[in-house]
Amino acid sequence: MAGLELKSLHKSYGDVPVIKGVDLTVEHGEFVVFVGPSGCGKSTLLRMIAGLEDITGGELWIGDKLCNAVEPRDRGIAMVFQNYALYPHMTVYDNIGFGLKLARTPKDIRDSKIREAARILQMEHLLERKPGQLSGGQRQRVAIGRAIVRKPEVFLFDEPLSNLDAALRVDTRMEISKLHQDLGATMIYVTHDQIEAMTLADKIVVLNGGVVQQVGAPIELYQRPANLFVAGFIGSPKMNFMAVTVDNVAANAVTVSGKDLSPVSIPADVTGLTLGDTVTLGIRPHALTIPTTGSVVGRINLVERLGNETIVNLGLTSGISWLAVLDGDHNLATGQTLQLAFDPTSAVIFDGEGRARHPA
């Protein structure tokens, strides 16, 4: 097994830069998820690691080998494609063994490796079928089998669950997670689904516009997002934001207020903040509660009662709307005025440039 090192990796199509200098270290055995909105460059970055896209600038190290100009087959990688890329004219057996056949692996060794991969993925009974006779989940497993059988140093997954239905996606996600534990392999996984990212990753890399926004453990990204983009992207429903004014700056906190917010002191890194600055306040929907007196007041636009929790869409007087996810069932009515409160330690202040000001 091997780790990876990306040093100032760049990619341009003509004059259009799509990857703008990515630095990243992936330890061996780590499960790293690239996540970001459509067009952020996450698939391009994965394909650069695979060798399917040329690298315009920077260095790509896999293990101790500089791989910028190395052919994909010599990089020690295997890739699972979004559409599986199973050859429709070959049986599952031949699909799994295709790479070994190309490498002229002796037939008996090939056979034992194919059967071993089929055993790991519990699909021995499918070996004689053609891809057209398999369900989506089974095809996904064959695609993974084709990767396993090559015993790669690094597994690359390009949105592998996006063609599966919701229930199957949960099952396959767990299978991939178990596979990672069993094989102990380095895995890089691309998705736009943050639930997949949060549940699978040892480390999440959030990308936007070809730039890494933040790298960290899932819970770290949730609790301490580096900037407005990460705060808005990680977490579901997304974080609520509100433009507020700095009323007072203390040693380790700022007091802020706004049209929809009574003055409240929030712990923050106050370096460079001055009275009268406009900053952004971020609160997760789950951090909002219904107190007797609250600091945010609005009119209810929509109530979704799910039994175990109640999701409230609250229209504030400034025109923006916030979501609150309240524990338990609340019998609230549309049009009703509602006060919400939050624990100041759960709020995040973002400065004028969108950087999070977490307290030290």
Binding site for another protein (CB under 8 A): 50-52, 71-74, 77-79, 81-85, 87-89, 98-99, 102-103, 129-133, 146, 150
Could you tell me the smallest distance in angstroms from the CB atom of residue 47 to another protein?
8
* Nearer of residues 99 and 218 to another protein, judged by Cβ: 99
Residues 6+ positions from 174 with CB-CB distance below 8 Å? none
80 vs 287, beta carbon nearer another protein: 80
CB of 49 to another protein, least distance (A): 11
For residue 136, the minimal CB distance to another protein (Å) is 11
Amino acid letter, 209: G
State in angstroms the smallest separation of the CB of 301 from another protein: 40
User: Judged by CB, which is closer to another protein: 41, or 225?
Assistant: 41
Helices (H), 6-135: 42-50, 92-102, 107-120
Nearer to another protein, 2 or 314 (CB): 2
Only one residue has tokens 């202040």, namely 349
State the minimum distance, in angstroms, from the CB of residue 105 to another protein.
11
Which of residues 34 and 342 has its CB atom nearest to another protein in the complex? 34
Q: Where are the beta strands (DSSP E) in the chain?
A: 4-13, 16-26, 31-35, 57-62, 65-66, 77-80, 154-158, 186-191, 203-208, 211-216, 240-249, 253-258, 261-267, 278-283, 288-289, 296-305, 309-316, 321-327, 337-342, 348-350
Q: Specify the residue, 153 or 351, whose C-beta has the smaller distance to another protein.
A: 153
- The span from the CA of 21 to the CA of 296, in Å, is 41
User: Minimum distance from CB of 122 to another protein (Å)?
Assistant: 21
Cα separation of 224 and 357, whole Å?
9
User: Are 92 and 126 in contact, with CB atoms under 8 Å apart?
Assistant: yes
Find the helix or strand (DSSP H, E) in which 148 lies. helix 136-148
